[in-house]
Amino acid sequence: MSQTQSLLVGCVRSKGRGLVSAAATVFTLFFPRTLRSGRTIFGVLLALTPLALVIFLGSVDTLPSQAPRGARLFEWLIGLYHLQFLCPFLGLLYGSHAVAEDIDGRTAVYLLTRPIPRSGLALGKWLVASACAALLVVASVVLTYVLLSRFEVGAGLSGQYSLLLKYCAVAGGGVVVYAAVFTALGAWVKRALLVGLVLTSIWEVVVANIPAPVQGATILFRCRVLLAALGVEPVVIGPKGRFLVEEIPGVGAALLPLGVVLVVAVGLSCLALHVRRYALEK
From 51-59, 107-115, 163-171, 187-195, span contacting another protein (CB under 8 A): 107-115
Go through 112-133 and write b for each residue having 16 or more CB atoms within 10 A of its CB, e for each that does not: eeeebbbbbbbbbbbbbbbbbb
In the chain, % helix, strand, coil (3-state, to 5) comes to 75, 0, 25
Selected from 83, 93, 111, 254, the binder of another protein by CB under 8 A is 111
Selected from 15, 65, 212, 252, the binder of another protein by CB under 8 A is 15
Going from the C-alpha of 66 to that of each of 63, 73, 135, 240, 252, the distances in angstroms are 8, 11, 33, 18, 36
- Conformation bin of residue 133: beta by default, left when phi > 0, alpha when psi is -120 to 50: alpha
From 21-29, 162-170, 212-220, 236-244, span contacting another protein (CB under 8 A): 21-29
From 58-66, 234-242, 248-256, 270-278, span contacting another protein (CB under 8 A): 270-278
Residue 171 binds another protein, judged by CB under 8 A: no
How far is Cα 86 from Cα 246, in angstroms, rounded to an integer? 27
Selected from 34, 74, 106, 234, the binder of another protein by CB under 8 A is 106
Long-range contacts of 142-147 (CB under 8 A, 24+ apart): 142/168, 143/51, 144/50, 144/51, 144/54, 144/74, 144/77, 144/78, 144/82, 145/74, 147/51, 147/54, 147/55, 147/58
How far is Cα 43 from Cα 45, in angstroms, rounded to an integer? 5
From 102-110, 143-151, 174-182, 222-230, span contacting another protein (CB under 8 A): 102-110
Window 31 to 60, contacts with another protein (CB under 8 A): 33
Selected from 41, 64, 110, 247, the binder of another protein by CB under 8 A is 110
CB 25 → another protein: shortest distance, Å? 6
Selected from 20, 60, 114, 260, the binder of another protein by CB under 8 A is 114
Selected from 69, 82, 118, 166, the binder of another protein by CB under 8 A is 118
CB 171 → another protein: shortest distance, Å? 30
Pick between residue 22 and residue 71 the one whose CB is nearest to another protein. Answer: 22
Going from the C-alpha of 263 to that of each of 2, 37, 184, 220, 267, the distances in angstroms are 54, 27, 11, 17, 6
Selected from 51, 80, 112, 193, the binder of another protein by CB under 8 A is 112
Which candidate, 62, 208, 47, 239, places its Cα nearest to that of 143?
Answer: 47
Residue 276 binds another protein, judged by CB under 8 A: no
CB 128 → another protein: shortest distance, Å? 13
**Applying CB under 8 A, which residues contact another protein?**
1, 4-17, 21-22, 25-26, 28-29, 33, 105-107, 109-118, 274, 277-280, 282
